[in-house]
């Protein structure tokens, strides 16, 4: 039995290896500009990207084994195919290697530091555009060779007066990354920890669709490359209770839906909990409105506020709507 299983496993690995070679060959034929980097690929490399345990609805988009005539692609088609192909190629190249160095200087009891690195092997970074997102402006700078304790003259001092700037507006790409790393936008330590362990807002397969739907409903709009909230979107944020805007709620629902998918939580229990959450919020709004009407009865008819953002809402804690099969 063990021998049979090993034979099957080897057969699967050989099949995957053959598929990879065929896909790489089709990339080289479709886009000859990538043929040079494809020639450096090792189809036997098992990248952490290939992880069946993390596949839910479908695997990532990859080129097929069918070659095409890349010269007939439109400009957009060419860019999309190249982007996907480069990401695929990167999985069959070795890890980059570099020498990292840092310098620490003290001037008038103040500490200054600089970091740099010297790349000795590009590895998967040779696939254009891969790896650049994580680099800071000075990570790749060349630093002079120095020795500890060396005394250096100060060639000059510049003093610049600058003002703080608001965060840059989102592009569709940065918005998707922010949705994936929503824990970075949360201050509460418990919520931050909970969100970091989850998948953020939506999944990698649904985030683009979520943004498209918000645009369709006129809550978001594109201004050039920027994605901004519309007047309608800002109004929605003012009237929706805080609990509904809390990313912890979305993360909880995503986690529970995975439990439903695995059969660990009955679907009707999840729906019941959602209905109860909505009912509780509606009751909270009704009580607030009733209190406003009572106050207004002792004031002029125009004294009723219409600022729904003043409605008190409950604080959502991680686990507040958590489910298990015993509920």
Same domain, 86 and 119: no
Q: What is the pLDDT at residue 17?
A: 60
Distance, C-alpha 84 to centroid of its chain = 17
Q: 289 and 196, same structural domain?
A: yes
Domain residues for 207? Answer: 170-310
- Assign 103 to helix, strand or coil: strand
- Asked if pLDDT for residue 3 goes beyond 80, the answer is no
Strand partners, 107: 110
CATH code of the domain containing 192: 1.10.460.10
Rounded CA gap, 55 and 52, in Å? 5
Read off the pLDDT of residues 56-103 as tens digits, 9 standing for 90 and up. Answer: 666 778 888 888 888 888 999 889 999 989 988 888 888 888 778 888
pLDDT for residue 8: 31
Q: For residues 182-198, give the mean pLDDT.
A: 81
Per-residue pLDDT band for 2 (boundaries 50, 70, 90) equals very low
Residues 119, 226, single domain; the answer is no
**Is residue 322, in this structure, part of any structural domain at all?**
no
84 burial level (CB within 10 Å; 0-12, 13-18, 19+):
middle
Whether residue 225 is found in the same domain as residue 115: no
Tell me the sheet residues that pair with 110. Answer: 107
Task: Give the residue from 75, 110, 134 where a domain finishes.
Answer: 134
Asked if residue 156 is part of any domain, the answer here is no
For the chain, what percent of residues have pLDDT higher than 70?
A: 77
Under the banding of pLDDT at 50, 70 and 90, the label for residue 129 is low
Looking at the domain assignment, is residue 141 inside a domain? no
Mean local confidence (pLDDT), 128-147: 56
Do 259 and 289 lie in one domain? The reply is yes
Instruction: Say if residue 102 is in the same domain as residue 82.
Output: no
Provide the pLDDT for residue 46: 78
Please report which confidence band the pLDDT of residue 127 belongs to, taking 50, 70 and 90 as the band edges. confident
Round to whole Å and give the CA distance between 102 and 117: 8
Q: Residue 131: its pLDDT value, please?
A: 41
Does 221 reside within a domain? yes
In a domain, 34, yes or no: yes
For the record, the structure tokens of 192 come out as 């931050």
Which residue blocks in 143-201 are alpha helix, DSSP H? 172-180, 189-197
| 116 neighbors 139 (Cβ within 8 angstroms) | yes
Do both 177 and 306 map to the same domain? Answer: yes
Taking the model in full, what pTM does it have? Answer: 0.52
246 and 268 both lie in a single domain:
yes
Task: Answer whether residue 26 shows pLDDT above 70.
Answer: yes
Domain assignment present for 157 = no
Residues 186, 108 within the same domain: no
Highest mean pLDDT among 112-116, 123-127, 172-176 belongs to 172-176
**Do residues 185 and 79 both lie within one domain?**
no
Total domains present in the chain: 3
Mean pLDDT score of the chain:
77
Shared domain for 195 and 224, answered yes or no, is: yes
Residues 30, 70: one domain?
A: yes
Closest CA to 129 of 74, 180, 80: 80
CA atoms within 13 A on the CB side of 319: 3
């Amino acid at each position: 039995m063990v021998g049979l299983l090993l034979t099957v496993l080897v057969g699967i690995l050989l099949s995957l290896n053959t598929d990879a070679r065929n896909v790489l060959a089709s990339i080289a034929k479709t886009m000859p500009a990538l043929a040079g980097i494809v020639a450096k690929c090792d189809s036997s490399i098992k990248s952490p990207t290939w992880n069946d345990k993390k596949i839910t609805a479908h695997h990532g988009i990859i080129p097929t084994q069918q070659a095409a005539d890349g010269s007939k692609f439109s400009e957009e088609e060419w860019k999309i195919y190249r982007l996907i192909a480069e990401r695929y190629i990167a999985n069959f190249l070795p890890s980059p290697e570099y020498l990292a160095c840092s310098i620490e200087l003290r001037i008038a009891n103040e500490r200054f530091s600089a970091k740099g690195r010297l790349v000795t092997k590009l590895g998967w970074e040779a696939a254009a555009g891969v790896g650049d997102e994580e680099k800071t402006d000075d990570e790749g700078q060349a630093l002079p060779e120095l020795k500890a304790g060396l005394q250096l003259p100060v060639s000059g001092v510049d003093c610049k007066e600058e003002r703080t700037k608001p965060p840059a507006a989102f592009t569709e790409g940065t918005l998707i990354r922010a949705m994936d790393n929503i824990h970075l936008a949360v201050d509460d330590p418990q919520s931050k920890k909970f969100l970091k362990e989850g998948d953020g807002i939506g999944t990698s397969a649904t985030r683009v669709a979520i943004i498209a739907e918000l645009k369709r409903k006129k809550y978001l709009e594109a201004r050039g490359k920027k994605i901004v909230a519309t007047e309608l979107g800002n109004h929605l944020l003012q009237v929706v209770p805080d609990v509904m805007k809390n990313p912890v709620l979305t993360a909880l629902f995503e986690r529970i839906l995975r439990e439903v998918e695995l059969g660990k939580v009955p679907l009707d229990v999840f729906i019941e909990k959602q209905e109860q959450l909505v009912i509780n919020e509606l009751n909270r709004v009704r009580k607030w409105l009733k209190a406003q009407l009572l106050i207004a009865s002792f004031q002029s008819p125009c004294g009723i506020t219409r600022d729904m953002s003043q409605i008190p809402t409950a604080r959502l804690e991680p686990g507040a709507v958590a489910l298990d099969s015993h509920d």
